[in-house]
Amino acid sequence: MKMPPFNGLLYAEHASDIITKGAAHIRAARPFALITSLAIEGGAAREVGSLALVDQSGQMTGYLSNGCIDRDIQLHAVEALHSGQKKTIRYGDGSCYVDLKLPCGGALTVLIDPTPDTEAILAAAKAFTARQTVTLTFEGQEEAKLVSRAFTYAPQHRLVLSGRGAVFRSMAQIGQAMGFDLYLLSPETEDLEAIGHLSSQTPLHLTSPRAQPSLDMLDAHSAFLTLFHDHDWEPNLLRAALDTPAQFIGCLGSRRTHAIRKETLRQMGVSEASLFRLHGPLGLVPTLRDASSIAVSALAEIVGAFQRTDAGLKAGRITKTAIGF
């Protein structure tokens, strides 16, 4: 059997990307093997529970390492598709594959399932579309023992940007490249024409600072940012955002500007508890002046907030809103 071509690897990051691809294969009656990281000892490029899939052509969507073992996983997955048998493989310390090293040390156990539960995958894809969390259970054999693991996955993180100008454009471009589900709102038609194609939905053209916008796309897996230098556009947008369960709400500007912003919202009747949710000045690195650096600094702060929430979800400290499969 020939090794799959090197370019047969798509570096999809999020569980929803893998599940959505799997659901498409199921609807098209195309067989595939689902690969899951069941256990990690020591360092690893991906976290436990990470998913990937390999179709009959050998193309792999997702990844389990930083190139150390993914090619071998592709080969085993294609073999499993031919045999119809599940495989549980250990790489690294204690593995029978002594020629395949994990430079980061430790060990990784992966499950390769050539006949995954199609009903569970279709239901999971539907739940992700509905912005629900998903719990999936995986079972396989390891050293003649049944191995069963359950992992909880949040839907794709959503980034809703309101603003105009260079920072707005840079944030949209970098956020979309990072895999966020992107929504855009702006009073500037030129900005929307330039980057509107990055938005998951038709961008919203803001026509008046006094308008009461609908921000019903914001949920507990979302971040909302105001990226204006003319801050008159912010109050009604922020009040609407604070009425949602958005995980992160942040604003561009200085400390002085943020203090004025909060006082304006107080006068509009926004509570102190709501104002506590408001992050500003935005970003991990203060006093940046170029748009791309500001975008990276802000997105790093958002990633940190999402990571803390997702960790709580997986540990069971946050209530799951989805069905378990």
Architecture of the CATH domain 158-312:
3-Layer(aba) Sandwich (3.40)
Provide the residue-wise pLDDT of the chain in tens; the chain has 325 residues.
455 454 467 878 899 999 999 999 999 999 999 999 998 887 777 889 999 999 999 999 999 887 678 888 999 999 999 999 999 988 865 555 544 555 566 778 899 999 999 999 999 999 999 999 999 999 877 666 777 889 999 999 999 999 999 999 999 999 999 999 999 999 999 999 999 999 999 999 999 999 888 899 999 999 999 999 889 999 999 999 999 999 999 999 999 999 999 999 999 999 999 999 999 999 999 889 899 999 999 999 999 999 887 766 665 544 333 333 3
| Per-residue confidence (pLDDT) for residue 324, from 0 to 100 | 33
| Per-residue confidence (pLDDT) for residue 11, from 0 to 100 | 79
Q: Which residue has the tokens 């430790």?
A: 106
Contact 106, 145 (CB under 8 A): no
Q: Where are the domains of the chain?
A: 9-153, 158-312
Q: What are the φ and ψ backbone dihedral angles of 29, each rounded to 5 degrees?
A: 60, 40
Identify the sign of the CA torsion 297, 257, 270, 235: negative
